[in-house]
Amino acid sequence: MTVQEAYHAAVAAGRLHADDAQIGVLPELERVRAAVETPVKRGLFRKAPAPVAGVYMWGGVGRGKSMLMDLLYDLVTVPKQRRHFHAFMQWVHSEMTAARKTGVDDALAPVAAKLADEVRFLAFDEMQISDITDAMLVGRLFEALFARGVVIVTTSNRPPDDLYKDGLNRQLFTPFIALLKERMVVHELASPRDYRQDRLAGTPSYFTPNNAAAHQAIATIWEHLSNGVSETLVLHVKGREVTLPQFHNGVARAKFFDLCGRPLGAGDYLALADAVRVLILEDIPILSRHNFNEAKRFVTLIDALYEAKVQLICSAAAVPEMLYVEGTGTFEFERTASRLREMQSADWAG
């Protein structure tokens, strides 16, 4: 089955709505599918096969990028792997740590070789570069994978030229941007429709009191957005770890104390806001002088989510204005309460 046939079959079955912007990228995805499915003929006197250009698919949140990548991924039968980009880089760092223990001069080389030996097709969701260490590694890694014939398809919320924008020593990263443009077809998915917002249309985003009904409502929303699939995502930020216990396709689910009960700061929350598009945050308690540090972190978290236009779905012990009513910081919390109200509006993050 071609990518086009699979897409239109899903439309006919009512699983998808036909979208001109999505239909426009199908020929590129089918080109990749057909190319990677073509057997590579090897022999002493045979010419090496021409490299297959991958696809860098970018566009706004909820435009169907991940769905289209998954459509292609399900049709590809060669050895393959699909990873969220942050989770993939976490794996790379872990493998490099293991390689260093063997005494190799270049710890990245065996990691790239191992990956290229295992897969022919790589699919990355949500490519974003926010860490200087990742910025320095990713160019060499992709170059090695391309050289070994690995075909890459990735999604991102931003064009290649905006990756690692304003990052430290960004001039060292720009050759990677040139490599992406050279070895991948860059395609903007410019659909006017946000399908993720459509799926949440009419759904409350703030549940109080924090009782069994709220827990069930949150669980239902998570099941709807994740399709029952999730993984743990660990973000590495300047030597610290920010753990999101459940994550799938840009949607994360965590408890209040997962994110605010640990000594995290603004940089950690900015990295989180850069990595997710929807955050489901459960069990926000009443805040006061007795949990002042947690309250301060919550304020910082909401600021980061607000500025990044991340959609927040949460369960809390009280309405925003009643979460923090006594103790130092109540005045400052008024802005947070206002933002929590604004983030409940139907057009938030739209």
Give yes or no for a contact between 280 and 253, defined as CB atoms under 8 angstroms apart.
Answer: yes
Task: Identify the pLDDT of residue 40.
Answer: 64
Task: Identify the pLDDT of residue 194.
Answer: 63
Give yes or no for a contact between 87 and 233, defined as CB atoms under 8 angstroms apart.
Answer: yes
The widest CA-to-CA distance across the chain, in whole angstroms, is: 80
pTM flag (> 0.75): no
- 85 vs 123: CA distance, rounded Å: 9
CA angle 181, 122, 178 (to 5 degrees): 15
Task: Identify the pLDDT of residue 60.
Answer: 78
HEC assignment per residue over 173-240: CHHHHHHHHHHEEEEECCCCCCHHHHHHCCCCCEECCCCHHHHHHHHHHHHHHHCCCCEEEEEEECCE
Give yes or no for a contact between 40 and 171, defined as CB atoms under 8 angstroms apart.
Answer: no
Give yes or no for a contact between 92 and 120, defined as CB atoms under 8 angstroms apart.
Answer: no
Give the list of residues 6+ apart from residue 5 with CB closer than 8 angstroms, or none.
none
Task: Identify the pLDDT of residue 307.
Answer: 86
- Cα–Cα nearest to 192, from 22, 14, 13: 22
Q: What is the pLDDT of residues 212-248, one digit of tens each?
A: 999 999 999 999 888 788 888 888 787 788 999 999 8
Q: What is the pLDDT of residues 279-289, one digit of tens each?
A: 999 999 999 88
- The two three-digit tokens of residue 141, written as one number: 């890694």
Domains and CATH numbers, the chain: 3-188 (3.40.50.300), 195-342 (3.40.50)
- 322 vs 337: CA distance, rounded Å: 9
* Residue 98 scores a pLDDT above 80: yes
Identify the band that residue 181 occupies on the pLDDT scale cut at 50, 70 and 90.
Answer: very high
Exposed e or buried b for every residue in 312-340, given b needs 16+ CB within 10 A?
A: bbbbbbbebeebbeeeebeeebeebbebb
